[in-house]
C-alpha cells in the first residue's frame, strides 16, 4: 500500500464538492420527484425536505428568499418539479439540491396548489361579490390581454364586430402559457390601468390542459386583477375550466367568445329596443295631443269666449257686491272704534283734575310748585298759590288748624 495515496474523509468530501461545483450542468438542473420529510423551519423560514422517486432520495433545501415566491405550500407526498444547484457539504458528505424554483407536477399536485391559493385569497375577501364592479353598458374601447396569434383574439374580434361595431378593440400581446406568462399578463393589466385608453379589460386565452392554463392561477396576477381600477372580464379556456383569475375578476366568462358578448351590447337588440321606445313615445305624444285637444275644445265652449259681455257683467256685479260688503265692514268698524273712543274720553275726563275745579274746588301749590295735600305741609306766613278752574290766586297762610286739634278745643 502506497501511504502517500491514502486520503482522509475530508479530502474525499472536498474532492466530491469540487467535482460538483466544476460541472456546469449541475448548476441549474430541473428535477422531478416526490416531497418527503418536509419541514418549515419556524425561525429562519427555510424549507428542508427530501425529494425521491421509486428507488432513490436526495436531500433538498429552499431558502426563504426563494420560497416566498411560491403560490402553494409544499407537503409530503406532493409531486413537484424543482430547479436548483447540486452541491455537497464536506462536513457530512451528503449531496443535496439548493432549490430556487418549485412547481407542482401532475394533476393532483396542481389541484392541491390551486385549492390552497383559492382558500387563501377567498379568506382575504378578494372573491367577495360586493367588491366587484359593474361593466360599462356602452364601452367605447375594450382592452384585450391575450396572445396575438391564438384563436381567442380572432373570436373576440369577430363577435364584437358583429354585435357592436362601434367599440374599438386594443390588443396588448401577452404570453398565455409558460414561465414568463404570469408576468406578461400582469404587465398587460397594469398597462391599461396606467393609461386612459379603455373602459373595460378582457384577459384570457383559448382552451388547453391544466398545465397550459396554469399561468392564470398565479397569485400575483390574481392580486393585480383584483386591484385593477378598470372592470376586468376573465375568459380562460372552455366553460368547464376554472382559474383563480376567474374568481377575482369582476365577471367570469365561460369562453373568450362569451367575454366579447358580455362586454358589448347587441346592436340588433338595441335597434329593436329603439324601435319599441319610439313607438311608445309616439303613442304617448298622440295621447297627450288628444288630451290637450279635448281641453281646448272644452275651453272654446266656455261662456268667457261664447258670451264675453255676460261674463264681464257677472264679474262687475261680483265686484259691486264686494265693494258694498267692504263699505259695510268699514262703517261697522268705524262705529265700533268711535264708541270705544267716546268711552275712553269719558274715563279720561273723569280723571281730569280740572273738571273737579269747575265744581268749586281749588288746588293749592307751594312756592316750589308742589301740590299741597295736607295742612301739615303749611306754616303760618307761608306763601301759596290757589288754582281755580278759571285761573290762580296768590295767598298767605295766617294760621293752620287740623281737624283733630279743632275737635279737642271744641271739647
From the number of C-beta atoms within 10 Å of its C-beta (0-12, 13-18, 19+), residue 245 rates as: buried
| Contact of 199 with 230, CB cutoff 8 Å | yes
User: Among the CATH numbers 3.40.50.10550, 3.40.50.150, 3.90.1420.10, 1.20.58.100, which is that of 116-265?
Assistant: 3.40.50.10550
Ordered per-residue pLDDT tens for the chain, 411 residues: 566 678 778 878 787 888 887 778 888 889 989 999 999 887 788 999 999 988 889 999 999 988 888 878 888 888 888 999 988 888 887 889 999 988 888 777 788 888 888 999 999 999 999 999 999 999 999 999 999 998 999 999 999 999 999 999 999 999 999 889 999 999 999 999 999 999 999 999 998 888 889 999 999 999 999 999 999 999 998 888 899 999 999 999 999 999 999 999 988 888 888 888 998 999 999 999 999 988 888 877 766 666 777 777 778 888 888 888 898 888 888 888 888 988 888 888 767 766 777 777 888 898 888 888 888 888 888 899 988 878 888 999 888 888 765 555 554
**pLDDT, tens digit (0-9, with 9 covering 90-100), for 336-369:** 888 898 888 888 876 776 677 777 788 889 888 8
Give the per-residue pLDDT at 373: 85
Give the per-residue pLDDT at 189: 97
Give the per-residue pLDDT at 233: 97
- In the block, residue with C-alpha cell 386591484: 227
Q: Rounded to whole angstroms, what are the CA distances from 197 to 159, 259, 260?
A: 21, 19, 18
CA dihedral 100, 106, 112, 116 (to 10 degrees): 40
Q: How far apart are CA 41 and CA 169, in angstroms?
A: 50
Q: What is the third-level CATH fold of 3-105?
A: OB fold (Dihydrolipoamide Acetyltransferase, E2P) (2.40.50)
Between helix 219-226 and helix 181-194 the angle, nearest 10°, is 10
**C-alpha cell belonging to residue 351:** 280723571
Backbone angles phi, psi at 142, to 5 degrees: -125, 125
Q: Rounded to whole angstroms, what are the CA distances from 278 to 19, 130, 166, 243, 285?
A: 85, 36, 22, 44, 10
- Residue in 152, 227, 151 with CA at minimum distance from that of residue 186: 227
- Residue in 183, 186, 238 with CA at minimum distance from that of residue 209: 238
Give the per-residue pLDDT at 298: 81
**pLDDT, tens digit (0-9, with 9 covering 90-100), for 202-240:** 999 998 888 889 999 999 999 999 999 999 999 998 888
Q: How far apart are CA 155 and CA 161, in angstroms?
A: 10
Q: How far apart are CA 376 and CA 399, in angstroms?
A: 11
Give the per-residue pLDDT at 411: 42
Between helix 256-263 and helix 151-163 the angle, nearest 10°, is 30
Amino acid at each position: 500500500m502506497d501511504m502517500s495515496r491514502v486520503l482522509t474523509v475530508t479530502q474525499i468530501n472536498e474532492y466530491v464538492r469540487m467535482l460538483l461545483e466544476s460541472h456546469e450542468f449541475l448548476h441549474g438542473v430541473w428535477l422531478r420527484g416526490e416531497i418527503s420529510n418536509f419541514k418549515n423551519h419556524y425561525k429562519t423560514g427555510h424549507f428542508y425536505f427530501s425529494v425521491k422517486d421509486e428507488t432513490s432520495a436526495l436531500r433538498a433545501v429552499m431558502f426563504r428568499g426563494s420560497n416566498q415566491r411560491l403560490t402553494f405550500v409544499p407537503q409530503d407526498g406532493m409531486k413537484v418539479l424543482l430547479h436548483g444547484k447540486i452541491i455537497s457539504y464536506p462536513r457530512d458528505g451528503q449531496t443535496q439540491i439548493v432549490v430556487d424554483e418549485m412547481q407542482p407536477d401532475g394533476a393532483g399536485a396542481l389541484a392541491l396548489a390551486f385549492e390552497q391559493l383559492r382558500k387563501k385569497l377567498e379568506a382575504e375577501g378578494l372573491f367577495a361579490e360586493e367588491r366587484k364592479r359593474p361593466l360599462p353598458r356602452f364601452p367605447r374601447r375594450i382592452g384585450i390581454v391575450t396572445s396575438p396569434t391564438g384563436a381567442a383574439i380572432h373570436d373576440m374580434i369577430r363577435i364584437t364586430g358583429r354585435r357592436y361595431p362601434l367599440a374599438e378593440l386594443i390588443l396588448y400581446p401577452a404570453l398565455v402559457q409558460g414561465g414568463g406568462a404570469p408576468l406578461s399578463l400582469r404587465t398587460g393589466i397594469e398597462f391599461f390601468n396606467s393609461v386612459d385608453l379603455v373602459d373595460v379589460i378582457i384577459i384570457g386565452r383559448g382552451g388547453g390542459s391544466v398545465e397550459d392554463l396554469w399561468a392564470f392561477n398565479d397569485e400575483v396576477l390574481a392580486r393585480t386583477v383584483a386591484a385593477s381600477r378598470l372592470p376586468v372580464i376573465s375568459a380562460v379556456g372552455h366553460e368547464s375550466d376554472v382559474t383563480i383569475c376567474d374568481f377575482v375578476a369582476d365577471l367570469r366568462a365561460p369562453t373568450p367568445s362569451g367575454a366579447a358578448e358580455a362586454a358589448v351590447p347587441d346592436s340588433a337588440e338595441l335597434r329593436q329596443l329603439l324601435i319599441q321606445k319610439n313607438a311608445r313615445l309616439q303613442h304617448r305624444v298622440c295621447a297627450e295631443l288628444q288630451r290637450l285637444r279635448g281641453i281646448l275644445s272644452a275651453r272654446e265652449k266656455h261662456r268667457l269666449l261664447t258670451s264675453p259681455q255676460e261674463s264681464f257683467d257677472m264679474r262687475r256685479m261680483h265686484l259691486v257686491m264686494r265693494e258694498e260688503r267692504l263699505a259695510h265692514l268699514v262703517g261697522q268698524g268705524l262705529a265700533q272704534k268711535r264708541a270705544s273712543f267716546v268711552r275712553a274720553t269719558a274715563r279720561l275726563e273723569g280723571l281730569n283734575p280740572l273738571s273737579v275745579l269747575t265744581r268749586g274746588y281749588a288746588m293749592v301749590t307751594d312756592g316750589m310748585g308742589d301740590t299741597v295735600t295736607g295742612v301739615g305741609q303749611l306754616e303760618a306766613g307761608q306763601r301759596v298759590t290757589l288754582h281755580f278752574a278759571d285761573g290762580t290766586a296768590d295767598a298767605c297762610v295766617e294760621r293752620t288748624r287740623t281737624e283733630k286739634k279743632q275737635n279737642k278745643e271744641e271739647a
